[in-house]
Each structure stands twice: as C-alpha cells, then as structure tokens.
Structure 1
Amino acid sequence: MQSSSVKYVFLVLAILLTALASCSGDKQDGKPHVYKGLYSFGPEIKSFSECGREKEFWVTDSSAQLELQYSQLNFEKPYEPVYVEVEGVKLPSDKDGLGAEYDSTLVVRKLIRITKVIPQDICH
C-alpha cells in the first residue's frame, strides 16, 4: 500500500472510532448529567442500569440521599430494583473493592426522583 492509502485508512478508522465513542452513551466527560434507570441496593451491591441500555454501573452516593430514601421504602429483602432519576457523573471504576467488577461508577450528586413503580413506557 502506498503512504497516502495508509493515511486514508487511518483517517477513516479514526472517524469511525470517534463516531462510535460519541454514540456509546457513556458520558464520562466529568460533567453532571441526568440519568434515568433502575437502582438496586444491598450489603454488597449498589448498582444502576440506565433505561434502554444493558450495561450496569457501580453507584457511589455522594448525595447521601439515594441510599437513605431507598432504605425508607421498607423492602422486605435487599436488592429490590427501584426507578430513579439522578444527577451525577460516570467515572472509570476503581480496580479494587466492591465496585471493581464494573467498568464504570455512577457518582450520584443529586437524587431527583425515586419510586417503587417502574414506568414501563420509560424503562422496561
């Protein structure tokens, strides 16, 4: 292959990778975003699944409201999913600790809504 052909292939690959990254929906830009999805909480799990996506995220509750209001819903057993709307940021997960098995961590800065009723039209 000629040098110009190689440059063209690399340019096309770079454009495709950039497009894929921007469509991935993982907003790890450090800016707060509103996330809607299912949250589960228990002794060893604090997870969030964004509506319309199959990825799960570890959750860190810097708002001090998410875990509190979840526990006030008085579930008989842990890990029951609830629908939440939160403001937060997604960051790469630590390599050690309970959240290490997750690729990303959702750091919740503000709880907007929490309910036992999971809206089927938004999150199914």
Structure 2
Amino acid sequence: MPAHPRHEATASSQDWLRLLDAVAGGEVRVVLSSSRGSRAVLVSEDDLRRLEEAERSRRVAVVLTPRERDVLLHVERGLSTTGIAEALGVAQGTVVQHLAAARRKYGVRSSGQAAARARGAGDLD
C-alpha cells in the first residue's frame, strides 16, 4: 500500500463533512492534487499554528550592509541595474553582487522580492 493512497473525489456530501471534521480534529491530513501537479494540504488549526510557529523560529534576522540597503531602495524605486550603478557611482558588477547577497539573505529569487521582504521586515526604514 502506498504511503499516500489516492482516493477519487466521489464521496457523498456526508462523507466530505466527516472527512473535514476529522481534519479539524487533527485525526487526518488531506492532500489535494491537481492534474497539473499543484497541491493543497488540509490540516487542523492546531497543526497550522505549530507549523507557523516552527517557521517563525527558523527565521533569522537579516542584517543588510549599508550598500545592500541602498541598492534595494533603488530597486523599490524601479531602477535597473545600470540605473542603480549610475545613481550610486559604482560598477554594474558591484550592484549585481549586492543584489545577489540580498536575495541570498532573504532566500528569494528576484531582487524585487528581496526589496519587498526588506520593506516588510522594516530593513529599509
């Protein structure tokens, strides 16, 4: 028997209500998968709270260098790498390195995401 058995969604409304009650009671977790591969997991509020607390405890405060902060402020304003380099009087490669460091610190893929995370964390105030 597979670790995650698949069940077709042909249950009655009463069966679904019982299933949702079991999820809410922490008895089961339900994984819903689409044909495109995306997934959603139904968990109890207690499980969700524990997951959120674990995530918060794993977060480490990000410390930006003054120049990383300056670069992210310019990203927020919509400047390109070239524009940021010109505004700060540095080489484009320097800007690229500061952006890469900021993305790594925030664990994101784009500079826009890094700027948004920095703003949300109060690191650009």
On whether the aligned pair clears a TM of 0.5, the verdict is no
- TM-score, normalised relative to structure 2: 0.28
- TM-score, normalised relative to structure 1: 0.28
Q: Which of these two proteins has the greater Rg computed from alpha carbons?
A: 2
Structure having the higher helix fraction is 2
Tell which has more relative contact order, 1 or 2 (C-alpha 8 A, sep 6+).
Answer: 1
